[in-house]
Structures are given as structure tokens and as C-alpha cells.
């Protein structure tokens, strides 16, 4: 096996120390030793079939998925995990961005070289894998990271939570998800623990497995945590052997935390991060004030910049992401020369050091895992003949998800929510439509004449024509 990859070297080192330790469990079980054999076989396949192109892995959580990730690295190829929901448009964009790529369907073990005549993209030497992200702008991009960044992320969990070889992580959420990849694969590689894989997250299956005590650690996102809590409402036994419930990719509301404590028996750890940086802030399952996001995980520096509060949250990590991949360049401009990455979020910090992320700095809203570009919503609303200007922002709802909030400038009081909503529905998918509407005769504006967006984001109250109806969540 090619050991230029730090991920592969770390895996082999762990396999040397714990050859009979269980690396993967679930439908099939593999020791570190037997996993190494599988990875070697696949690496040969990728080496000859992928022809130097990056390897896109898609499919359900299977041992083949994990093997193919490490095999691609062992073959010296950049890995791009794609979700099962990847759209045709995203496949097409990928081809334009990276040229030829080898698609490996990890569910069925089938590989195809795609776009072989395309112009080959050259990646920097340290390139390990790319994760699709919308960043803070909502525009889909590929964030390029090194092998070291995944291992260092794993070490945050190793040192923060004490991951050990005896630990077993229930991996029911997709491994292509940045949060799960970092916690599960990164954590396993540096600690020697076991990954218990299920193809997908099914609440009653996860409930049964947790009651059987198969896992000491379970990563969840807020929606899956709610579903799991609902499954445990049957009054049966709580999970056995469970040490850590880690909820990432979304805030933990006080109500959700209460449900998790009541039904699953533990205070959940909170987790914040990005495809670009991996997990950076969080807690380890202690009780913290409502709304708090966490503190910097081991090895992470966090800073809140700017004079106003909330300010702009910056993160510095060892092995920062290498940049966004475009057809002609790797754009690393989001990371400053001294390594600070702008998260695109507003945040505050209290006297005890707890950081609270309060909202998005710029564009890019996130609701239930779906990304919404405010600019797209603004364009759709702005072409209504009675609308003179539009600002769309996000605001957190009771579940901690972004609500799409539209601020409409109009000279007429005849314009109703129904008018603009029906108009926007001609151009936007349903989930992008604003839930909250405000109408104004005159927007607050900067000296340059542009709408003063900070007034809308920071909840100031400029002169309004009338308040709108609000969503039922508020």
C-alpha cells in the first residue's frame, strides 16, 4: 500500500498496534488486519481504473464506503464523498470543476470513470479529500482538505472526549457528512475504536442497537436526535453503555436537550464546525447555559472580531483547509496569511468563555440541511412590479434552524404577503420561500444608498409599514 497518505499511515500504525481490534462492525465485522486487506485490494482497483483522477464515493454507510475512502488515499487519489441526494446539476458541475473523475458506488461496489476526455485537474501535494459545502455564501463549492486535517480533527475528539479502543461509535448518519466523517473516521483512526455502521439512520433500528448496548458514542444532528427521542418515548429501557451523545450540524435547543436527557439518559454534547475546518467548538456533555454553542475544542483557537457585539467568528486550526476548488485554481482567500478562517457567523462570548453563535454574517441560510441563498430569494421577490427593494436574512427559530425572513420595500400598502409569496413561488422551490415578512415604506440605508443589512440582521426596528404574519414556530 502507498503510505504517502497520512490517513493510510495512521490506519496501518493503528492496525499494527491492534491487529485483532474491531475496526468496523454492523452487517459485517472487520478487524483492523482484515480491513487492511480489503483496502489494499480496492487500492489496486482504483490505481488502475481511476487513472489518476479523483475518486467520488457515494452510497450508503457500508464497510465498502470506509474501505474505498482509505483505498483511494492509498492509491494517491483525492477523495470526494458525495451524498446519495446529489443532483444531476451537481454531478455536472463536478465534471466542470475537476475534469475526469472516478465514481465509486460504495453500496454496490461498482466504479466508473466519468468524463475521461475532460481536462485533468491537478491538486496540490497535500490534497487529501474534498467536501461539498455551501460555506457562508450558499453557493455550492468543494472545500479541499489534507489528510492531516482529518486526523487532527479526530484528535480533538480523542483529547476532548477520551475516545479509546474500547469505544464503539454508532454511525447511522451519512459518512459523507463532514461532521460524521470527522468524528467517526477521524476519531477511529487516531484512537483505534470501532465504527458500528448502519446503512442509514432509521430511528427504531438505532433505538434497538442503543438498547442492546452496541455503542458508547453516537453522533446525531438535531433532526435525528428528535426522531430518536420520539422512538424512545415507548417507555422501554434507555440506552445501555452509551457515554457520549454528540449533536452537530445544528444548534441544540433547550427543549431538545431536555428530551435527550429524559429519553436517552445523558446531556448531549454540542458540536459546531464546518466542512472547511471540521468540528471546532463544542461541549463534552456537561450542562451549559441555554443557547451556548460551546468552547474551542482541543487544539482550536477561536476569536470574535469587530467592535460590535455580536462580532464575526474566526477560527484557527492546525492544518487549515487548502481552499475551494475551481476549474483553474484553489481559492484559499478565506484563510488569512496567519491562518485565521472567517466562519461567516456572528457570535458572542461570555465571561466564562462560552461562545454563542447567534446568526449568519452574510449569505447562506441553512434549514433542515437545505441551503438557501438569500440572493436567489431576493431576485425572485424583487421582480414583482410593486417591490422597490428586498433584503432577505436568516433568523433562528425555536429548533435552532434558520427561518427565511424577507424585508420588502414598497410604495404601496396594497401589497400583501399572499401576493408576493405567490409571485415568488413561480421562481423558487417551496422550502426557499420566506416564512416571515416585513414591509417598509423606506429601508434604512447606508451613506452609499444601499440597504443597511446590519440593521435587519441585528434586529433593529426601522420604520415599518406593517408587521406581517409570522410562522407558527415563532
Return phi, psi of residue 209, to 5°. Answer: -65, -40
**Rule CB under 8 A: is residue 165 a binding residue for another protein?**
no
Q: Closest distance between another protein and the C-beta of residue 452, in Å?
A: 26
Q: Closest distance between another protein and the C-beta of residue 30, in Å?
A: 22
Which stretch in 17-25, 251-259, 336-344, 427-435 sits in contact with another protein by CB under 8 A?
Answer: 427-435
Binding mask 335-374 for another protein (x = CB under 8 A): ---------------------------------xxx----
Nearest to 70 by CA among 40, 32, 45, 103: 40
**Rule CB under 8 A: is residue 474 a binding residue for another protein?**
no
Can you tell me which of 284, 404, 408, 420 binds another protein, judged by CB under 8 A?
404
**Rule CB under 8 A: is residue 173 a binding residue for another protein?**
yes
Can you tell me which of 396, 421, 445, 455 binds another protein, judged by CB under 8 A?
421
Residues within window 118-147 making contact with another protein, judged by CB under 8 A: none
Q: Closest distance between another protein and the C-beta of residue 227, in Å?
A: 6
| Nearer residue to another protein within complex by CB, 12 or 180 | 180
**Rule CB under 8 A: is residue 473 a binding residue for another protein?**
yes
| Nearer residue to another protein within complex by CB, 258 or 470 | 470
| Nearer residue to another protein within complex by CB, 75 or 231 | 231
Can you tell me which of 114, 241, 243, 471 binds another protein, judged by CB under 8 A?
471
Binding mask 70-109 for another protein (x = CB under 8 A): -------------xxx-x----------------------
Binding mask 428-447 for another protein (x = CB under 8 A): -xxxxxxx------------
Q: Closest distance between another protein and the C-beta of residue 296, in Å?
A: 27
| Nearer residue to another protein within complex by CB, 206 or 296 | 206
Q: Closest distance between another protein and the C-beta of residue 397, in Å?
A: 8
Residues within window 217-236 making contact with another protein, judged by CB under 8 A: 221, 223-224, 227, 230-231
Q: Closest distance between another protein and the C-beta of residue 472, in Å?
A: 8
Binding mask 178-217 for another protein (x = CB under 8 A): ----------------------xxxx-x------------
CA distance 377 to 428: 7
| Nearer residue to another protein within complex by CB, 202 or 330 | 202
Other C-beta atoms closer than 10 Å to the C-beta of 398 total 13
Q: Are 112 and 51 in contact (CB under 8 A)?
A: no
**Rule CB under 8 A: is residue 411 a binding residue for another protein?**
no
CA distance 369 to 431: 11
| Nearer residue to another protein within complex by CB, 182 or 323 | 182
Q: Closest distance between another protein and the C-beta of residue 74, in Å?
A: 28
Q: Closest distance between another protein and the C-beta of residue 243, in Å?
A: 24
Q: Closest distance between another protein and the C-beta of residue 417, in Å?
A: 10
CA distance 144 to 139: 15
Q: Closest distance between another protein and the C-beta of residue 201, in Å?
A: 6
The secondary structure of the chain, three-state, reads CCCCCHHHHHHHHHHHHCCCCEEEECCCCEEHHHHHHHHHHHHHHHHHHCCCCCEEEECCCCHHHHHHHHHHHHCCCCEEEECCCCCHHHHHHHHHHHCCEEEEECCCCEEEEECCCCCCCCCCCCEEEEEEECCCCCCCEEEEEEHHHHHHHHHHHHHHHCCCCCCEEEECCCCCCHHHHHHHHHHHHHHCCEEEECCCCCHHHHHHHHHHCCCCEEEECHHHHHHHHHHHHHCCCCCCCCCEEEECCCCCCHHHHHHHHHHHCCCCEEEEEECCCEEEEECCCCCCCCCCCEEECCCCEEEEECCCCCEEEEEECCCCCCEEECCCCEECCCECCCCEEEEEEEEEECCCCCEEEEEECCCCEEECCEEECHHHHHHHHHCCCCEEEEEEEEEECCCCCEEEEEEEEECCCCCCHHHHHHHHHCCCCHHHCCCEEEEECCCCECCCCCECHHHHHCCCCCCCCEECCCCCCC
Query: Under the rule (CB under 8 A), what is the footprint of another protein?
Result: 83-85, 87, 173-174, 200-203, 205, 221, 223-224, 227, 230-231, 368-370, 404, 421, 425, 429-435, 471, 473
Amino acid at each position: 500500500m502507498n503510505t504517502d497518505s497520512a490517513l493510510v499511515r495512521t490506519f496501518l500504525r493503528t492496525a499494527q498496534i491492534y491487529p485483532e481490534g474491531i475496526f468496523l462492525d454492523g452487517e459485517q465485522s472487520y478487524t483492523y488486519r482484515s480491513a487492511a486487506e480489503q483496502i489494499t485490494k480496492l487500492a489496486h482497483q482504483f490505481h488502475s481504473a481511476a487513472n489518476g483522477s479523483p475518486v467520488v464515493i457515494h452510497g450508503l454507510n457500508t464497510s465498502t464506503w470506509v474501505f474505498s475512502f482509505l483505498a483511494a488515499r492509498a492509491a494517491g487519489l483525492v477523495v470526494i464523498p458525495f451524498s446519495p441526494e446529489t443532483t444531476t446539476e451537481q454531478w455536472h458541475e463536478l465534471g466542470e470543476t475537476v475534469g475526469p473523475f472516478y465514481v465509486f458506488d460504495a453500496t454496490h461496489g461498482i466504479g466508473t470513470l466519468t468524463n475521461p476526455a475532460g481536462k485533468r485537474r491537478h491538486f496540490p501535494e497535500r490534497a487529501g479529500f474534498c467536501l461539498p459545502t455551501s460555506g457562508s455564501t450558499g453557493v455550492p463549492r468543494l472545500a479541499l482538505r489534507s489528510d492531516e486535517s482529518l486526523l487532527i480533527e479526530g484528535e480533538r475528539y480523542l483529547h476532548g472526549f477520551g475516545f479509546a479502543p474500547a469505544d464503539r461509535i454508532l454511525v447511522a448518519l451519512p459518512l459523507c457528512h463532514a461532521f460524521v466523517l470527522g468524528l467517526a473516521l477521524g476519531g477511529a483512526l487516531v484512537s483505534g475504536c470501532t465504527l458500528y455502521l448502519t446503512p442509514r439512520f432509521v430511528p427504531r433500528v438505532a433505538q434497538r442497537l442503543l438498547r442492546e448496548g452496541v455503542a458508547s458514542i453516537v453522533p446525531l444532528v438535531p433532526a435525528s436526535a428528535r426522531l430518536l427521542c420520539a422512538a424512545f418515548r415507548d417507555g422501554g429501557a434507555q440506552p445501555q453503555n452509551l457515554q457520549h451523545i454528540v449533536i452537530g450540524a445544528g444548534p441544540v435547543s433547550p427543549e431538545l436537550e431536555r428530551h435527550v436527557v429524559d429519553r436517552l439518559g445523558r446531556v448531549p454534547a454540542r458540536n459546531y464546525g464546518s466542512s472547511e475546518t471540521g468540528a471546532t467548538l463544542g461541549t463534552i456533555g456537561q450542562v451549559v447555559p441555554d443557547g451556548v454553542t460551546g468552547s474551542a475544542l482541543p487544539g482550536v483557537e477561536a476569536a470574535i472580531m469587530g467592535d460590535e457585539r455580536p462580532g464575526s467568528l474566526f477560527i484557527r486550526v492546525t492544518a487549515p483547509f487548502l481552499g475551494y476548488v475551481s476549474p483553474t485554481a484553489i481559492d484559499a482567500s478565506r484563510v488569512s496569511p496567519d491562518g485565521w478562517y472567517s466562519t461567516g457567523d456572528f457570535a458572542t462570548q461570555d465571561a466564562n468563555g462560552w461562545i454563542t453563535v447567534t446568526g449568519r454574517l452574510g449569505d447562506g441560510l441553512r434549514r433542515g440541511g437545505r441551503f438557501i441563498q438569500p440572493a436567489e430569494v431576493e431576485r425572485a421577490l424583487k421582480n414583482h412590479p410593486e417591490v422597490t427593494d428586498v433584503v432577505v436574512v436568516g433568523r433562528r427559530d425555536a429548533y435552532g434552524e434558520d427561518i427565511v425572513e424577507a424585508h420588502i420595500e414598497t410604495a404601496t400598502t396594497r401589497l400583501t404577503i399572499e401576493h408576493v409569496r405567490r409571485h415568488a413561488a413561480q421562481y423558487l422551490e417551496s422550502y426557499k420561500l420566506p416564512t416571515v415578512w416585513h414591509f417598509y415604506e423606506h429601508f434604512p440605508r447606508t451613506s452609499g444608498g444601499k440597504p443597511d443589512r446590519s440593521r435587519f440582521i441585528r434586529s433593529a426596528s426601522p420604520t415599518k409599514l406593517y408587521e406581517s404574519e409570522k410562522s407558527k414556530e415563532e
